[in-house]
Structure 1
Amino acid sequence: MEDEFITPAAVSTLTGVSVAALAQLRYRGIGPTFYKPTPKTVLYKRSQVLAWVEAAAQQRTLPRTRTA
Protein backbone atom coordinates (compact mmCIF):
# COMPACT_ATOMS: atom_id res chain seq x y z
CA MET A 1 0.00 0.00 0.00
CA GLU A 2 2.85 2.39 -0.65
CA ASP A 3 0.92 4.25 -3.35
CA GLU A 4 -1.95 5.17 -1.07
CA PHE A 5 -2.76 8.85 -0.62
CA ILE A 6 -2.11 10.24 2.85
CA THR A 7 -2.86 13.53 4.59
CA PRO A 8 -0.32 16.07 5.86
CA ALA A 9 -1.02 14.80 9.40
CA ALA A 10 -0.06 11.27 8.32
CA VAL A 11 3.07 12.61 6.59
CA SER A 12 3.95 14.41 9.81
CA THR A 13 3.57 11.19 11.80
CA LEU A 14 5.62 9.26 9.24
CA THR A 15 8.48 11.76 8.91
CA GLY A 16 8.49 13.83 12.10
CA VAL A 17 8.10 17.02 10.03
CA SER A 18 5.33 19.19 11.45
CA VAL A 19 2.20 19.96 9.46
CA ALA A 20 3.16 23.65 9.50
CA ALA A 21 6.64 22.84 8.18
CA LEU A 22 5.08 20.77 5.40
CA ALA A 23 2.96 23.79 4.46
CA GLN A 24 6.11 25.93 4.28
CA LEU A 25 7.84 23.31 2.14
CA ARG A 26 4.86 23.29 -0.24
CA TYR A 27 4.93 27.09 -0.41
CA ARG A 28 8.67 27.09 -1.16
CA GLY A 29 8.36 24.21 -3.64
CA ILE A 30 10.98 22.05 -1.97
CA GLY A 31 9.01 19.36 -0.16
CA PRO A 32 7.62 16.08 -1.35
CA THR A 33 5.28 16.10 -4.35
CA PHE A 34 1.71 16.82 -3.28
CA TYR A 35 -1.75 16.76 -4.83
CA LYS A 36 -4.64 19.23 -4.45
CA PRO A 37 -7.85 17.59 -5.67
CA THR A 38 -9.82 20.50 -4.18
CA PRO A 39 -8.65 23.97 -3.09
CA LYS A 40 -8.61 22.94 0.60
CA THR A 41 -7.44 19.33 0.30
CA VAL A 42 -3.75 18.40 0.28
CA LEU A 43 -2.67 14.80 -0.24
CA TYR A 44 0.64 13.03 -0.65
CA LYS A 45 1.49 9.60 -2.03
CA ARG A 46 3.18 7.53 0.66
CA SER A 47 5.75 6.19 -1.83
CA GLN A 48 6.74 9.72 -2.91
CA VAL A 49 7.11 10.87 0.70
CA LEU A 50 9.38 7.90 1.45
CA ALA A 51 11.39 8.60 -1.72
CA TRP A 52 11.78 12.25 -0.64
CA VAL A 53 13.10 11.14 2.74
CA GLU A 54 15.46 8.60 1.12
CA ALA A 55 16.78 11.28 -1.25
CA ALA A 56 17.84 13.31 1.78
CA ALA A 57 20.11 10.55 3.13
CA GLN A 58 23.46 11.81 4.39
CA GLN A 59 26.73 10.08 5.28
CA ARG A 60 27.81 12.77 7.73
CA THR A 61 27.06 16.25 8.91
CA LEU A 62 29.53 18.73 7.47
CA PRO A 63 31.37 20.81 10.06
CA ARG A 64 30.27 24.38 10.46
CA THR A 65 32.49 26.87 8.66
CA ARG A 66 33.71 29.91 10.52
CA THR A 67 33.02 33.37 9.12
CA ALA A 68 35.20 36.35 9.76
Structure 2
Amino acid sequence: MHLHGHNFRLILSDGSLGPWRDTVLVERGETREIARVTDNPGNWLLHCRMLDHAMSGKMSWYRVT
Protein backbone atom coordinates (compact mmCIF):
# COMPACT_ATOMS: atom_id res chain seq x y z
CA MET A 1 0.00 0.00 0.00
CA HIS A 2 1.21 3.47 -0.87
CA LEU A 3 0.33 6.50 1.25
CA HIS A 4 0.39 9.97 -0.34
CA GLY A 5 1.15 13.17 1.57
CA HIS A 6 2.77 11.63 4.65
CA ASN A 7 5.48 9.21 5.62
CA PHE A 8 5.10 6.59 8.33
CA ARG A 9 7.01 4.06 10.36
CA LEU A 10 5.91 0.48 10.78
CA ILE A 11 5.35 -0.63 14.35
CA LEU A 12 7.32 -3.86 14.52
CA SER A 13 6.30 -7.00 16.42
CA ASP A 14 8.56 -6.03 19.36
CA GLY A 15 6.95 -2.56 19.55
CA SER A 16 9.93 -0.72 18.06
CA LEU A 17 9.63 1.57 15.04
CA GLY A 18 10.90 0.59 11.62
CA PRO A 19 12.44 2.98 9.06
CA TRP A 20 10.54 5.89 7.52
CA ARG A 21 8.61 4.94 4.36
CA ASP A 22 5.58 5.72 2.23
CA THR A 23 4.90 2.21 0.95
CA VAL A 24 4.51 -1.17 2.67
CA LEU A 25 3.77 -4.66 1.36
CA VAL A 26 0.56 -6.09 2.81
CA GLU A 27 -0.46 -9.64 1.92
CA ARG A 28 -4.09 -10.74 1.60
CA GLY A 29 -5.69 -10.98 5.06
CA GLU A 30 -2.71 -9.29 6.71
CA THR A 31 -2.75 -6.06 8.70
CA ARG A 32 0.05 -3.66 9.54
CA GLU A 33 0.23 -1.06 12.29
CA ILE A 34 1.88 2.26 11.49
CA ALA A 35 2.84 5.44 13.33
CA ARG A 36 2.58 8.76 11.50
CA VAL A 37 2.12 12.45 12.11
CA THR A 38 -0.66 13.90 9.96
CA ASP A 39 0.61 17.46 9.65
CA ASN A 40 0.12 17.99 5.92
CA PRO A 41 -3.47 19.21 5.33
CA GLY A 42 -5.34 18.11 2.25
CA ASN A 43 -7.05 15.20 0.55
CA TRP A 44 -4.64 12.30 0.13
CA LEU A 45 -4.72 8.99 -1.68
CA LEU A 46 -4.03 5.56 -0.15
CA HIS A 47 -3.78 2.83 -2.79
CA CYS A 48 -2.21 -0.40 -3.93
CA ARG A 49 0.78 0.14 -6.23
CA MET A 50 -0.45 -2.67 -8.51
CA LEU A 51 -2.69 -0.78 -10.92
CA ASP A 52 -5.12 -3.65 -11.52
CA HIS A 53 -5.66 -3.89 -7.75
CA ALA A 54 -6.17 -0.13 -7.43
CA MET A 55 -8.64 -0.14 -10.34
CA SER A 56 -10.62 -2.98 -8.74
CA GLY A 57 -11.12 -0.98 -5.54
CA LYS A 58 -7.94 -1.20 -3.45
CA MET A 59 -7.82 2.58 -3.26
CA SER A 60 -9.22 5.21 -0.89
CA TRP A 61 -8.96 8.91 -0.04
CA TYR A 62 -8.32 10.34 3.41
CA ARG A 63 -8.57 13.95 4.58
CA VAL A 64 -6.24 15.80 6.94
CA THR A 65 -7.65 19.06 8.29
Question: Which one has the bigger helix percentage?
Answer: 1
TM-score by length of structure 1 reads 0.22
Greater Rg over alpha carbons, structure: 1
TM-score by length of structure 2 reads 0.23
Question: Which one has the bigger strand percentage?
Answer: 2
